Amino acid sequence: MVQKTIITALLLACPFTASADNDAERTALAKIKHEIESLKPLIAEAKAQADSDARVQFHYDWLALDLDRMVLGIQEHLSAPSTQPRSFPPLKGDYRH
């Protein structure tokens, strides 16, 4: 549920157009990066409120790591866009155990 909420928030925060130029794309990516970074306090708050005795735990650390990877990928693209594909470790995507 949290994952769907985060993805929805990211999609709603940065509308894209098919005819966007490079500057518009870079601006949108910078906004996405900012939105992802603004989620960190919310994640910390949710982690602090989590029931440590619950049978199923949410891995807030994994979520934070995945978000850090996303920010890194965006930052690398904004800093030095390349024509060669880059390899990044896969996102966890499943935060329950």
- Tokens coding 34: 């900012």
Whether 62 is in a domain gets the answer yes
Domains of the chain: total: 1
What is the three-class DSSP state of 96? strand
The parent domain of residue 57 ranges over 2-12+21-79
Q: At 89, is the pLDDT very low, low, confident or very high (cuts 50, 70, 90)?
A: confident
Whether 92 is in a domain gets the answer no
Whether 95 is in a domain gets the answer no
67-76 per-position pLDDT tens digit: 999 999 999 8
pTM of the model: 0.63
Whether 49 is in a domain gets the answer yes
